[in-house]
Chains A and B, each alone.
Chain A
């Protein structure tokens, strides 16, 4: 088990290096130049040249990359040229917001997806199942920016039940904090539950035809007990994978949702860094997101091993 863990952890390193290298290259291929951005309306050729030298922008890309990597390995991710904040400070301030959003969105998606999946699996091919299949595809194809605006219009502008934008720290007002997360989390959950539902539904239909379910039925167990205890766990392997991958995907989704709902999360930091050409922050955030994604996959792998011992012993 330990060797398995160590091997998996070791795989993380090349992935992170590749991601950081790619971001660095893409950022330096962007038209324009950081010196132009900083100088703005005073970007005379002499000033640009002086600033480029000052910031080391006249060095080749690979040289700058290794310089940056060297600092990162020593725990120094650099500072924003705009605010003077260190990357770690900026990310640490914003990460809890995004984390809470993703967690609530995933819980929301599971809370919608699992019961519907079970209901569909029990009477697969029935009217409800077919209706849900249609709705699931409908929801899946709705972009988050559209559902976000529709939800804001309904719940914030018309009904006035929930705030349209804004953020309250949990420590300040727990209820207010949850209230401001309802709409953004729901927006993300609306895009996520169809996948979870479809996956669990088909696995569950297969499980329900297994002999041990027939056995349980024959023993006269209550149908609800059969479904929730005997059938759910063996059917949830794919669900765990998809949930894990979804969390990774959600990091991307939060970028749009945080922008619309004005949540001060890591997605907003990322968008801000791109529009202001704050490449040091951009690098740092992308690295954190990549790390989160890879880590999530790692955790999913570990969960597999817990759910299915065959994987742990390499027999799968």
Chain B
């Protein structure tokens, strides 16, 4: 199957309107296509091959659902809100479309973009856009609109917090109506995958709408998505109705979706039990509700173990962490299973590398240090000096519990940790200024290890928190982000993990696991990538 350019309109006709949803790709064709593309293609091209068979579940059109979110959504104007939190992303997945989406195997698939290709150095990416798509306000979606979205966020005069996340893209060009070119500062081998999640940078909004509505745009967003904003009461219901002109014919299934912030975990779960909400957001710290839902035949627990993890960084430039023995001892003293039991009733999954089960990176040997208190004691004894240090912890019950558990583990190994409780927002600036000995951090679920792994471990990067420099590690990191071949990349990332684990400059406690609890009748929910409950294609049985 040589990579040939297939005209956009032909590609579109190949798409079966019913089954271009996430689960609809035939495994065989898809696997073959990606292998071929990865191995051969200097021009990277992916076409959506729709499959003509119906899945076992009949998708029932009509009806409505209520989604229980955790927080109030502040709005959708990137310049106003800066970033979308999970609640906003759940709504954004309905109102807006992205260029690409991530299928259940973690491969990027066409959404507003039909196909893409890249230059040899992975610094220029060209997308062919889907023709005939319109925003909810009737204006056309085209290359200029994509460029306008990017330019508005990138413009230094707008001082948008969102600009940070697109700092790697130099500019976006729109040479014609349906072609968009991304010019990057650094190579990105997997750009289409990184543009899949419905965050502030990836969702395409209507330029006409934000220009005409001004300050009101924030609460009156306009996209091309499957649902149109109908009404929104402050701090309360956000009502969305089916977009009758949605480009993906036969979609969406539901007529109406109501999003409600339900801040209290217990009453949120009660709302699900009583049927007022059909699906609710949850996390493993609410283990009680999750375990109750697992036993309830009327409810379904949707779980996704993502990539990334809850992580901690040692400042290797200050004592006692300038000595590898101390770092190794502390890591070996952590009993993650016991910790999971205490903190989340056993739900949290131990992490041994920064990639996690949800990542495509799979390591036979990630170099993780074993849990071994005796070895830890011996290492500290070997170090010879007393080990006293402070760890930053968020001033929340959760942060406190985790701190106390670690404190106990380390005490057994002969080290004294003092918990320094700080406000959540204080941790990033302290981390940036390296004013810590040990700090918690997070590697978020993302379709690719880049850009986080490079940023967290390459010498000189702002978030290379360990203050650690190793030419071998730098070389591996530089190589991994430029390599297209998946197997070679996988090997590089495993080598990186081994190096970090052995040197113990960072350590990982738990993998990122995301939860949604729903009525058993709710079907068609895709994986909870980045914790986003994407209900754009669900239906009720």
A contact residues vs B (CB 8 Å cutoff): 30-33, 36-45, 48, 54, 80, 82-85, 90, 93-94, 148-149, 152-153, 156-157, 160, 163-167, 169, 259-262, 264-265, 268-269, 271-272, 276-277
A166 pairs with B235, CB closer than 8 A: no
User: Is B266 an interface residue, CB under 8 A from the partner?
Assistant: yes
Question: In the complex, which of the residues A83, A90, A157, A262 contacts B274, with contact meaning CB atoms closer than 8 Å?
Answer: A157
Question: In the complex, which of the residues B218, B234, B425 contacts A32, with contact meaning CB atoms closer than 8 Å?
Answer: B425
A165 pairs with B270, CB closer than 8 A: yes
A38 pairs with B426, CB closer than 8 A: no
**Please, how many angstroms separate the alpha-carbon atoms of A309 and B420 in the complex?**
60
- With both beta carbons as reference points, the residue of chain A lying nearest to B441 in the complex is identified as A41
* Known contacts A36-B429, A149-B267, A164 near B274 by CB under 8 Å: yes
* Known contacts A33-B425, A43-B429, A83-B75, A152 near B234 by CB under 8 Å: no
* Known contacts A40-B161, A84-B77, A45 near B260 by CB under 8 Å: no
- With both beta carbons as reference points, the residue of chain A lying nearest to B73 in the complex is identified as A83
Q: Provide the B202-237 mask, 1 if CB < 8 A to any CB of A, else 0.
A: 000000000000010011000000000000011111
Within 8 A of A (CB), among B42-71: 68, 71
B268: chain A residues within 8 A (beta carbon): 165, 262
A165: chain B residues within 8 A (beta carbon): 68, 260, 262, 264, 267-268, 270-271, 276-277
B74: chain A residues within 8 A (beta carbon): 80, 82-83, 276
A276: chain B residues within 8 A (beta carbon): 74
A83 pairs with B218, CB closer than 8 A: yes
B85 to chain A, nearest CB (A): 10
- With both beta carbons as reference points, the residue of chain B lying nearest to A32 in the complex is identified as B423
* Known contacts A38-B161, A149-B267, A259-B263, A32 near B235 by CB under 8 Å: no
Question: In the complex, which of the residues A85, A261, A268 contacts B267, with contact meaning CB atoms closer than 8 Å?
Answer: A261
B235 pairs with A268, CB closer than 8 A: yes
B275: chain A residues within 8 A (beta carbon): 160
B276 pairs with A164, CB closer than 8 A: yes
B311: chain A residues within 8 A (beta carbon): none
B434 to chain A, nearest CB (A): 11
Across chains A and B, which 4 residue pairs bring their CB atoms closest together, nearest first?
A: A264-B235, A32-B423, A264-B236, A36-B425
B68: chain A residues within 8 A (beta carbon): 165
User: Is B36 an interface residue, CB under 8 A from the partner?
Assistant: no
User: Is B72 an interface residue, CB under 8 A from the partner?
Assistant: yes
10 A-B pairs (CB sep. < 8 Å): A43-B429, A80-B74, A82-B81, A148-B267, A149-B266, A152-B266, A163-B271, A165-B276, A262-B262, A276-B74
B425 pairs with A84, CB closer than 8 A: no
Within 8 A of A (CB), among B246-282: 260-264, 266-268, 270-271, 273-277
A166 pairs with B271, CB closer than 8 A: yes
A156 pairs with B261, CB closer than 8 A: no
User: Is B31 an interface residue, CB under 8 A from the partner?
Assistant: no
A160: chain B residues within 8 A (beta carbon): 274-275
**Please, how many angstroms separate the alpha-carbon atoms of A261 and B276 in the complex?**
12
**Please, how many angstroms separate the alpha-carbon atoms of A31 and B421 in the complex?**
10
**Please, how many angstroms separate the alpha-carbon atoms of A264 and B261 in the complex?**
9
A80: chain B residues within 8 A (beta carbon): 74
User: Is B138 an interface residue, CB under 8 A from the partner?
Assistant: no
A39 pairs with B235, CB closer than 8 A: no
Within 8 A of A (CB), among B432-489: 432-433, 462
**Please, how many angstroms separate the alpha-carbon atoms of A83 and B422 in the complex?**
26
Question: In the complex, which of the residues A38, A48, A166, A262 contacts B264, with contact meaning CB atoms closer than 8 Å?
Answer: A262
B161 pairs with A44, CB closer than 8 A: no
User: Is B82 an interface residue, CB under 8 A from the partner?
Assistant: yes
A268: chain B residues within 8 A (beta carbon): 72, 235, 263
Among B71, B273, B424, B425, max chain A CB count under 10 A is at B425
A88 to chain B, nearest CB (A): 13
Among A41, A148, A261, A277, max chain B CB count under 10 A is at A41
User: Is B80 an interface residue, CB under 8 A from the partner?
Assistant: yes
A152 pairs with B267, CB closer than 8 A: yes
**Please, how many angstroms separate the alpha-carbon atoms of A43 and B161 in the complex?**
10
A152: chain B residues within 8 A (beta carbon): 266-267, 270
* Known contacts A45-B432, A165-B276, A157 near B270 by CB under 8 Å: yes
Question: In the complex, which of the residues A42, A43, A269 contacts B235, with contact meaning CB atoms closer than 8 Å?
Answer: A269
A297 to chain B, nearest CB (A): 28
| Additional pairs, 20, CB under 8 Å, beyond known A157-B273, A165-B270, A262-B263 | A31-B423, A32-B424, A36-B428, A39-B428, A44-B462, A83-B219, A84-B215, A93-B233, A94-B234, A94-B235, A149-B266, A156-B274, A160-B274, A163-B276, A165-B271, A165-B277, A166-B271, A167-B237, A260-B264, A262-B268
- With both beta carbons as reference points, the residue of chain B lying nearest to A84 in the complex is identified as B80
User: Is B392 an interface residue, CB under 8 A from the partner?
Assistant: no
B234: chain A residues within 8 A (beta carbon): 85, 90, 93-94, 264
B231 to chain A, nearest CB (A): 10
**Please, how many angstroms separate the alpha-carbon atoms of A265 and B236 in the complex?**
9
B274 pairs with A163, CB closer than 8 A: yes
A38 pairs with B263, CB closer than 8 A: no
A164: chain B residues within 8 A (beta carbon): 267, 270-271, 273-274, 276
A144 to chain B, nearest CB (A): 12
User: Is B83 an interface residue, CB under 8 A from the partner?
Assistant: yes
- With both beta carbons as reference points, the residue of chain B lying nearest to A159 in the complex is identified as B274
- With both beta carbons as reference points, the residue of chain A lying nearest to B261 in the complex is identified as A262
**Please, how many angstroms separate the alpha-carbon atoms of A160 and B80 in the complex?**
41
**Please, how many angstroms separate the alpha-carbon atoms of A85 and B73 in the complex?**
13
- With both beta carbons as reference points, the residue of chain B lying nearest to A37 in the complex is identified as B425
User: Is B285 an interface residue, CB under 8 A from the partner?
Assistant: no
B395: chain A residues within 8 A (beta carbon): 31
B311 to chain A, nearest CB (A): 13
B363 to chain A, nearest CB (A): 27
**Please, how many angstroms separate the alpha-carbon atoms of A93 and B422 in the complex?**
34
B82: chain A residues within 8 A (beta carbon): 38, 40
Question: In the complex, which of the residues A40, A149, A271 contacts B425, with contact meaning CB atoms closer than 8 Å?
Answer: A40
- With both beta carbons as reference points, the residue of chain B lying nearest to A48 in the complex is identified as B429
B535 to chain A, nearest CB (A): 18
B161: chain A residues within 8 A (beta carbon): 38-40, 42
A262: chain B residues within 8 A (beta carbon): 236, 260-264, 267-268, 271
- With both beta carbons as reference points, the residue of chain B lying nearest to A36 in the complex is identified as B425
**Please, how many angstroms separate the alpha-carbon atoms of A208 and B394 in the complex?**
59
B218: chain A residues within 8 A (beta carbon): 83-84
B262: chain A residues within 8 A (beta carbon): 165, 262
- With both beta carbons as reference points, the residue of chain A lying nearest to B217 in the complex is identified as A84
